[in-house]
């Protein structure tokens, strides 16, 4: 009997636990007295989450009209009042309210997600009724997983579209700011300070901090959407070392996203009134079609969405310094 040492054990295990034995392609074996195929002992699938991480951007359903029409009535500037004159007849002056040009958000069009399930097929691969049921459930589960990720990606693209509109706006200076992405205590504190200033601005009636370049009211709520990788630096380098964390706390709800759609301008954070961006579902139905001759069933999820971007709510994007 050999004496065990750490180096000897490691050498033995490295030879025994061969990498080719894990996560490889199927190789049949008949290592038994009867020469039968060695059986599968366990079937497993390890799943992750495919949820829509931006549920707050769901707008109400649009079962009839699909286009969203946004209007905005401007505020009124006070003017001098004429003195009343004795005996003078006063007519009534018409003061026409001033409205901004309406803005329209249109349907993104009908799309479908489809998957099929063959009959008398996966049963031959199942270890038993439970596994066969799991195979069936997983097919339809993937249909709705796909829809959740699809909706989440659409919402992120609405961020990209809003950033692009801000880039092209005449009041771009109010809608976008170049500020170093947090990488240490100094840049983290500078970022927090800027957010605090902008939240303060948005908490009052303000002018020009919206795509319509208008005087708008205070935002009832603000959300800071930040690309992944930014907040750990802020939390460790700025917030964790603060004597009074309340002084450095970011005064807005914070949501982390993996990207802002196809935006590639260096924007790493967006502060906005969450009423600005919504994804409205106009149609959603799952249909089932069985094909008797070929013996399979197809599940098709139909959907139609309208993406909405408001011109008259607070918005600001933060772009990394080039």
Residue 66 is predicted with a pLDDT of 93
Residue 197 is predicted with a pLDDT of 95
Residue 22 is predicted with a pLDDT of 65
Please give the structure tokens belonging to residue 68. Answer: 């969203």
Kindly tell me if the per-residue pLDDT of 199 is higher than 90: yes
Average pLDDT of the segment spanning 171-176: 96
Kindly tell me if the per-residue pLDDT of 24 is higher than 80: no
Please give the structure tokens belonging to residue 111. Answer: 């799309």
Are the C-beta atoms of residues 221 and 313 closer than 8 Å to each other?
no
pLDDT band at residue 176 under the 50/70/90 scheme: very high
Average pLDDT of the segment spanning 51-60: 92
Are the C-beta atoms of residues 177 and 194 closer than 8 Å to each other?
yes
Kindly tell me if the per-residue pLDDT of 263 is higher than 60: yes
User: DSSP letter at 202?
Assistant: H
The residues spanned by each domain of the chain are: 103-319
pLDDT band at residue 60 under the 50/70/90 scheme: very high
Q: pLDDT digits over 266-309, tens only?
A: 999 999 999 999 999 999 999 999 999 999 999 999 999 999 99
User: DSSP letter at 17?
Assistant: S
Residue 190 is predicted with a pLDDT of 92
Q: pLDDT digits over 203-242, tens only?
A: 999 999 999 999 999 999 999 999 999 998 888 877 665 5
Q: Give dist(CA 225, CA 195) in Å, integer.
A: 12
Are the C-beta atoms of residues 268 and 318 closer than 8 Å to each other?
yes
Q: Give dist(CA 269, CA 319) in Å, integer.
A: 7
Q: 35-49, 104-118, 268-282: which has the minimum mean pLDDT?
A: 35-49
Percent of the chain at pLDDT exceeding 90: 60
Kindly tell me if the per-residue pLDDT of 244 is higher than 60: no
Which residue is associated with the tokens 């939390």? 235
Q: Which pTM value belongs to this model?
A: 0.85
pLDDT band at residue 137 under the 50/70/90 scheme: confident
Quickly count: other Cβ atoms within 10 Å of residue 115's Cβ.
14
Q: Is 120 left (phi over 0), alpha (psi -120 to 50) or beta?
A: left
Average pLDDT of the segment spanning 108-127: 88
CA angle 242, 243, 248 (to 5 degrees): 45
Measuring CA to CA, how many Å separate 283 from each of 7, 51, 210? 64, 20, 30
Residue 242 is predicted with a pLDDT of 54
Kindly tell me if the per-residue pLDDT of 20 is higher than 80: no
φ, ψ of residue 182 in degrees (nearest 5): -60, 125
Distance of CA 249 to the CA centre of its chain: 23
Average pLDDT of the segment spanning 10-29: 78
């Amino acid at each position: 009997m050999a004496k065990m040492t750490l180096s000897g054990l490691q050498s033995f295990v490295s030879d025994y636990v061969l990498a080719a034995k894990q996560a490889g392609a199927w190789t049949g074996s008949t290592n038994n007295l009867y020469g039968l195929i060695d059986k599968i002992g366990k079937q497993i699938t390890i799943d992750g989450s495919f949820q829509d991480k931006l549920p707050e951007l769901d707008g109400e359903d649009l079962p009839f009209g699909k286009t969203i029409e946004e209007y905005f009535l401007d505020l009124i500037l006070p003017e001098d009042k004429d003195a009343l004159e004795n005996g003078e007849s006063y007519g009534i002056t018409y003061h026409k309210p001033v409205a901004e040009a309406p803005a329209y958000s249109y349907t993104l069009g009908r799309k479908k997600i489809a998957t099929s399930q063959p009959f008398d097929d996966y049963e031959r691969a199942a270890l038993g009724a439970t596994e066969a049921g799991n195979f069936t459930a997983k097919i339809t589960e993937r249909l709705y997983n796909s829809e959740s990720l699809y909706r989440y990606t659409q919402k992120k693209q609405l961020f990209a579209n809003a950033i692009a509109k801000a880039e092209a706006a005449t009041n771009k200076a109010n809608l976008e700011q170049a500020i170093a992405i947090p990488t240490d205590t100094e840049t983290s504190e500078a970022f927090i300070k800027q957010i605090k200033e902008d939240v303060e601005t948005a908490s009052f009636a303000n002018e020009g901090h919206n795509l319509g370049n208008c005087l708008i009211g205070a935002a009832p709520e603000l959300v800071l959407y930040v690309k992944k990788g930014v907040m750990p630096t802020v939390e460790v380098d700025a917030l964790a070392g603060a004597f009074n964390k309340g002084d450095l706390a970011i005064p807005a709800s914070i949501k982390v996203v993996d990207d802002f759609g196809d935006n590639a301008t260096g924007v790493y954070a967006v502060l906005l009134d969450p009423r600005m961006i919504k994804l409205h579902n106009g149609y959603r139905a799952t249909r089932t079609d069985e094909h008797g001759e070929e013996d399979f069933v197809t599940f098709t999820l139909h959907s139609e969405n309208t993406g909405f971007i408001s011109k008259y709510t607070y918005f600001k994007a933060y772009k990394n310094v080039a």
